[in-house]
């Protein structure tokens, strides 16, 4: 397969951010507590929201929801770091919907996401929990769609705006999107947005267009000390919630193994695994667009119900493929790290790292490989359910990343055994 690099542009940070002064609460939990005995009813959410929660089959809040929802519902600024699969999205969706006025005012909520797929998924979450709330409408805006179409949509302003920073800023600069009525400003996977210089600049411009007085909520699965100082520029008198310390930032119920093999052996071993394993849905991560395209072709030729998502697709096709996979029309997805963060597909129970995450050379990116690994394997074992992660190790760099993962998260990733008990990764 032809190699194609997809590195993010490098940049230098201008100034060290001073520690913000003022009231602050830090909530730290050392372990995974599983399902709580308390139900969502204890949060005293609107009846219409509670009905939607029950219809979706949710009974007990996750640990992050237990800690963050009471604060978020009160309109407090939130900085929240919790591992993938713990329901961070529901924290801001439910708390924002609960706080909406009756009737809801147009363009009172803005949610920023770093990818179009994540923005699309957040929009769907707002839709399913707001369907009983009269007059609440959510729209999503991202690049790859004619901006004139989106300007037309905004002529009937929705209540909730979800979008990527670049397109949101473009609409605001054209005067089509007025942000002076925003009461809730949310950033999901915010470290990814603020870690890229161009996207951070867009976010800062957007933030300045919103009112000074508003609720700000920031969420991420990974949050190092340096980036936390950047986050604190956006919040006031915030509550900071860190669920699980870094050494325990792995996923409860997830079996993790590696396979040592030559690069030329990957395709055969992958096909053998897909034939042998029982799965609902599988996500296979590769390191470039060209490899995603070629590997998907091979899997389709081998009669696997496979599709691929990568940056080489136009926006409409990417969303169509994402919907097809989410709706269970496809059971195997080949993807670059475009799909790695924040995307919830409930049926995914196996993740395969066909290509291991790559280490970045810059000093401040020393945990880049293990960060990416965390986000990738977070696609399986969502909400504490069972899952399986298998990583192909074919180079010295792969071995270095694997060692970094084991050391940082204080875990042992063992070699894949000849037989795996299905009950360990299938619910």
Q: How far is Cα 189 from Cα 341, in angstroms, rounded to an integer?
A: 7
pLDDT at 367: 60
Rounded to a whole number, what is the largest CA-CA distance in the chain? 61
Model pLDDT for residues 61-119, shown as the tens digit of each residue: 887 888 889 889 989 999 998 877 788 999 999 999 999 999 999 999 999 999 999 99
pLDDT at 32: 30
Does 49 score more than 90 pLDDT?
yes
Q: How far is Cα 345 from Cα 324, in angstroms, rounded to an integer?
A: 11
Model pLDDT for residues 247-269, shown as the tens digit of each residue: 444 545 688 999 999 999 999 99
Instruction: Give me the architecture of the 250-424 domain, per CATH.
Output: 3-Layer(aba) Sandwich (3.40)
User: How high is the mean pLDDT of the chain?
Assistant: 83
Does 315 score more than 80 pLDDT?
no
Binned at pLDDT 50, 70 and 90, residue 366 comes out as low
Report the CATH fold assignment for 25-247: Rossmann fold (3.40.50)
Q: List Cα–Cα distances, 101 to 46, 66, 96, 234, 367, in angstroms.
A: 12, 24, 10, 24, 43
Q: Are 315 and 21 in contact (CB under 8 A)?
A: no
Q: Are 242 and 28 in contact (CB under 8 A)?
A: yes
> Where does the chain hold its CATH 3.40.50.300 domain(s)?
25-247, 250-424
SS3 229: helix
Q: Is the pTM of this model over 0.85?
A: no
């Amino acid at each position: 397969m032809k190699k194609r690099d997809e590195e993010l542009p490098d940049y230098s940070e201008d100034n060290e951010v001073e520690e913000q002064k003022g009231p602050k609460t830090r909530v730290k939990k050392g372990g995974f507590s599983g399902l709580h005995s308390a139900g969502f009813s204890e949060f005293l959410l609107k009846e219409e929201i509670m009905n939607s929660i029950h219809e979706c089959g949710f009974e007990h809040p996750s640990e992050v929801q237990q800690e963050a929802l009471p604060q978020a519902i009160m309109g407090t600024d939130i900085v929240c770091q919790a591992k993938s699969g713990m329901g961070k999205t529901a924290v801001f969706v439910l708390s924002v919907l609960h706080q909406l006025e009756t009737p809801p005012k147009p363009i009172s909520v803005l949610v920023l996401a770093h990818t179009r797929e994540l923005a699309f998924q957040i929009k769907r979450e707002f839709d399913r929990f707001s369907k009983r709330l009269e007059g609440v409408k959510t729209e999503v805006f991202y690049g790859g769609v004619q901006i004139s179409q989106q300007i037309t949509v905004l002529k009937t302003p929705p209540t909730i705006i979800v979008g990527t920073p670049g397109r949101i800023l473009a609409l605001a600069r054209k005067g089509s999107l007025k942000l002076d009525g925003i009461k809730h400003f949310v950033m999901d996977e915010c470290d990814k947005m603020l870690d890229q210089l161009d996207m951070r600049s867009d976010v800062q411009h957007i933030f300045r267009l919103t009112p000074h007085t508003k609720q700000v909520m920031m969420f991420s699965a990974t949050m190092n000390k340096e980036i936390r100082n950047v986050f604190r520029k956006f919040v006031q008198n915030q509550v900071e919630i860190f669920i699980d310390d870094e050494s325990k930032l792995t996923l409860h119920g997830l079996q993790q193994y590696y396979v040592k093999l030559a690069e030329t052996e990957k395709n055969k071993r992958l096909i053998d695994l897909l034939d042998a394993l029982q799965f609902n849905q599988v996500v296979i991560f590769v390191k470039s667009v060209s490899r995603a395209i070629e590997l998907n072709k091979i899997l389709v030729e081998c009669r696997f119900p496979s599709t691929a998502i990568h940056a080489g697709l136009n926006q409409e096709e990417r969303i169509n493929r994402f919907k097809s996979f989410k709706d269970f029309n496809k059971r195997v997805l080949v993807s670059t790290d475009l799909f790695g963060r924040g995307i919830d597909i409930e049926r995914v129970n196996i993740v395969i790292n066909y290509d291991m995450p790559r280490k970045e050379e810059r000093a401040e990116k020393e945990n880049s490989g293990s960060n990416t690994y965390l986000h990738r394997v977070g696609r399986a074992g969502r909400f504490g359910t069972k899952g399986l992660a298998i990583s192909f190790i074919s180079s010295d760099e792969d071995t270095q990343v694997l060692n970094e993962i084991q050391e940082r998260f204080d875990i042992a990733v063992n070699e894949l055994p000849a037989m795996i008990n299905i009950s360990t990764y299938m619910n």
